[in-house]
Amino acid sequence: MSVDGSTGQGLVFRVLDALDAPHSGRILRLRLESGEVPSIKSFRNAELRATGPSGESCRLKVLGFALFGGKPSDDRFARTGRIDVHIAEIEGGPVGLRWEVTPS
């Protein structure tokens, strides 16, 4: 499954913060830059592509959601445009600040 609003085209997220997760993977705080706000459900097990400021690339798999900011909801995501995801870097990495994330 992939992250998609209605078609998934034009969705672009920006990495606001990137942290190592306690046991494995990383936690990314994403902000929606363009496109229609997708549902939280569409993020589950989604594969994403991250591109760095200097052109490097990384494939990501969403493992779940970080709960330290509260339980994610479609309403909050629509209001703030921000979501915290727990990811595994499949290829490349590590993902850092100012990287651009799109559905793959």
Q: Is the pTM of this model over 0.85?
A: yes
Asked whether the beta carbons of 84 and 66 are under 8 A apart, the reply is yes
Whole-angstrom Cα distance, residue 81 to residue 58?
22
pLDDT at 2 (0 to 100): 53
Residue type, 100: E
Report which DSSP code applies to 41.
G
pLDDT digits (tens, 9 = 90+) for 29-51: 999 999 999 999 999 999 999 99
Asked whether the beta carbons of 44 and 36 are under 8 A apart, the reply is no
Structural domains for the chain? 12-103 (2.40.30.10)
Whole-angstrom Cα distance, residue 29 to residue 19?
9
Asked whether the beta carbons of 83 and 69 are under 8 A apart, the reply is no
pLDDT digits (tens, 9 = 90+) for 49-100: 999 999 999 999 999 998 887 889 999 999 999 999 999 999 987 999 999 9
